[in-house]
């Protein structure tokens, strides 16, 4: 393949965690030149004003204006652009620029029960997010990209299972290829040793709820930290007393608990160790964390619960996950929790969930980005056939 250049287009502040998840080392190893363009000032100016810019590597740069974006694109006309940018009112101009220069584009599609909220949860989701900006974005979706001189993406990489939501612009000319959810790629990378020993622990998948940077940046924090963590610790006390398990907290990847004191008391708090903690645990406890994917892949029992204030802010997402897993959601202050029942596993539901939301591939050992590279390099018209070849 003559062209060996990839441009990653990102709109959220790029982090070291993103560097590891977005296949950078795989692209470099396969011989691609890589450039990371962060366009937060254009598509999310409110976030950029709050967070600023932190350079992660030599080929990571910030783009402040559309003119700067055009200048960079003109110098990278033969590159392949992988877009992590959501198509919308503030970003369509970037896609139109890519179309103007006829640049090959790969967009992403994501899976998860949160994209298929039904019933009460669906209406809660809409009501909780009513704003002038969201209404305008919703109306903008009715404008077809082709009306704005935006061509179909060349490739759509599905990062998940059968049920997915793809980002625009996609159409009849777009080739669909299947990778996996980010968690599955990390699961493959870890290469679980045989006979992982279980500790006498229950691991809580932390949400960093009162302080999550996305909520803070958007100005929508509504959870009182003192009340929330107080109720969490009371729930953990009850769980420990009735099961004999010790609760260990798997800190959210974007958390910084050094800023907030010892909110979990004397309990063990680990950051960056989520997959290892789940591998060792006898029970996984969560609100709505996508890291339950690891529990499903490792066949670990899952218990879902929420505090009153967390449920008020996130009920639609909590219910979506519960519906997908066929689980009950316990209130943190519920005095009647059947812990024995929650320790059981419905393996059929786990397998169904895996294929629907995590990966459609059976026993595939290829990382999503390796599958994408194979697609780019083999130039097979029927892109879906590549998955059959590469994952055998």
Average pLDDT over residues 27-51: 93
- Residue of higher predicted confidence among 114 and 259: 259
Q: How confident is the model at residue 21 (pLDDT cuts 50, 70, 90)?
A: very high
Q: Is the pLDDT of residue 381 over 50?
A: no
Q: Give the ranges where the chain is alpha helix by DSSP (H).
A: 16-21, 24-29, 40-43, 45-51, 66-75, 92-100, 119-128, 132-140, 182-190, 213-218, 225-243, 274-280, 292-297, 308-325, 339-342, 347-353, 368-378, 384-390
Q: What is the pLDDT of residue 382?
A: 41
pLDDT of residue 179: 93
pLDDT (tens digit per residue) in 266-313: 999 999 999 999 999 999 999 999 999 999 999 999 999 999 999 988
Burial of 13 (0-12, 13-18, 19+ CB in 10 A): buried
* Close Cβ partners of 31 (under 8 Å, ≥ 6 residues apart): 4
Domains of the chain and CATH, by start: 5-118+132-181+360-390 (3.40.50), 189-358 (3.40.50)
Report whether 247 contacts 267 (CB < 8 A).
yes
**What's the confidence (pLDDT) of residue 83?**
97
d(CA 158, CA 386): 13
Which pLDDT score is estimated for 379? 54
Percent of the chain scoring above 70 in pLDDT: 86
Residue 65 pLDDT: 97
Q: Measure Cα distances from 298 to 7, 114, 263, 294 in Å.
A: 34, 21, 29, 6
Cβ neighbours around 162 below 10 Å, total: 13
* Predicted confidence band of residue 97 (pLDDT cuts 50, 70, 90): very high
Q: What is the rounded distance in angstroms from the CA atom of residue 248 to the CA atom of residue 268?
A: 5
Tell how strand 164-166 and strand 104-111 pair up: antiparallel
pLDDT band at 219 (very low <50, low <70, confident <90, very high): low
Q: Write the pLDDT tens digit of every residue in 334-373.
A: 878 888 899 999 999 999 999 999 998 877 889 999 999 9
- pLDDT score, position 188: 87
Cβ proximity of 38 and 14 under 8 Å: yes
* Whether residue 196 has pLDDT greater than 70: no
4 CB neighbour count, 10 Å cutoff: 16
pLDDT at residue 198 greater than cutoff 50: yes
Query: CA-to-CA distance for 314 and 303, rounded, in angstroms?
Result: 17
pTM to 2 decimal places: 0.86
pLDDT score at 195: 47
Written as six digits, the tokens of 247 are 């609760």
Q: Average the pLDDT over 32-47 and give the result.
A: 94
For the segment 225-280, what is each residue's pLDDT rounded down to a tens digit?
A: 999 999 999 999 999 999 999 999 999 998 889 888 889 999 999 999 999 999 99
pLDDT band of residue 94 (cuts 50, 70, 90) is: very high
Cα–Cα distance between 362 and 351 in angstroms, integer? Answer: 10
Task: Check pLDDT > 80 for residue 130.
Answer: no
- Per cent of the chain over pLDDT 90 is 63
Distance CA 335, CA 70 (A): 60
Q: What is the mean pLDDT of the chain?
A: 87
Contacts of the segment 228-234: beta carbons below 8 A, 24+ positions apart: 228/307, 228/309, 228/310, 229/263, 229/264, 231/307, 231/308, 231/332, 231/333, 232/204, 232/264, 232/307, 232/332, 233/264, 233/265, 233/267, 234/332, 234/333
Q: What is the pLDDT of residues 153-182, one digit of tens each?
A: 999 999 988 767 777 799 999 999 999 999
Q: What angle do CA 143, 147, 151 make, to 5 degrees?
A: 110
CB 358 within 8 A of CB 180: yes
Stretch (H or E) spanning 109: strand 104-111
pLDDT of residue 29: 96
Spatial contact of 199 and 281, defined as CB atoms under 8 Å apart: yes
pLDDT at 24 over 50: yes
**Does 391 score more than 70 pLDDT?**
no
Question: Is the pLDDT at 224 greater than 70, yes or no?
Answer: yes
- The pLDDT, as a whole number, for residue 194 is 46
Q: What is the pLDDT of residue 295?
A: 96
What mean pLDDT do residues 47-53 have?
Answer: 86
Looking at the predicted structure, is the pLDDT value of residue 121 above 60?
Answer: no
């Amino acid at each position: 393949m003559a062209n060996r250049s990839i441009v990653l287009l990102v709109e959220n502040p790029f982090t070291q965690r993103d560097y590891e998840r977005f296949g950078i080392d795989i692209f470099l190893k396969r011989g691609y030149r890589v450039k990371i363009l962060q366009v937060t000032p254009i598509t999310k100016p409110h976030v950029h004003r709050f967070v600023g810019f932190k350079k992660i590597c030599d080929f990571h740069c910030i783009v402040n204006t559309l003119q700067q974006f055009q200048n960079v694109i003109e110098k990278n006309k033969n590159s392949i652009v992988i877009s992590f940018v959501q198509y919308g009112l503030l970003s369509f101009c970037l896609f139109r620029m890519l179309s103007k220069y006829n640049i090959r584009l790969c967009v992403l599609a994501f899976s998860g029960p949160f994209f298929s909220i039904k019933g009460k949860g669906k209406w809660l989701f809409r009501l909780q997010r009513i704003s002038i900006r969201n209404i305008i974005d919703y109306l903008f979706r009715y404008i077809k990209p082709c009306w704005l001189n935006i061509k179909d993406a060349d490739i759509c990489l599905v990062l998940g299972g059968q049920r997915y939501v793809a980002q625009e612009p996609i159409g009849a000319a777009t080739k669909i290829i299947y990778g996996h959810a980010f968690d599955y790629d990390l699961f493959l990378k870890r290469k679980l040793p045989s006979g992982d020993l279980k500790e006498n622990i229950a691991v809580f998948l932390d949400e960093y709820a009162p302080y999550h940077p996305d909520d803070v940046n958007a100005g929508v924090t509504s959870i009182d930290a003192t009340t929330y963590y107080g109720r969490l610790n009371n729930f953990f006390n009850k769980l420990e007393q009735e099961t004999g398990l010790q609760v260990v907290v798997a800190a959210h990847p974007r958390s910084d608990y050094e800023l907030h004191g010892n909110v979990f008391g004397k309990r063990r708090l680990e950051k960056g160790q989520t997959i290892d903690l789940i591998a060792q645990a006898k029970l996984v406890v969560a609100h709505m964390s996508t890291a339950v994917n690891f529990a499903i892949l490792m066949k670990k029992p899952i218990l879902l619960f929420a505090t009153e204030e967390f449920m008020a802010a996130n009920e639609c997402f909590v219910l979506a996950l519960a519906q997908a897993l066929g689980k009950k959601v316990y209130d943190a202050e519920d005095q009647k929790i059947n812990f024995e029942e929650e320790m059981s596993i419905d393996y059929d539901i786990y397998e169904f969930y895996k294929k629907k939301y995590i990966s459609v591939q059976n026993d595939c050992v290829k990382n999503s980005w390796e599958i994408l590279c194979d697609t780019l390099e083999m130039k097979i018209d029927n892109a879906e056939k590549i998955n059959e070849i590469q994952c055998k």
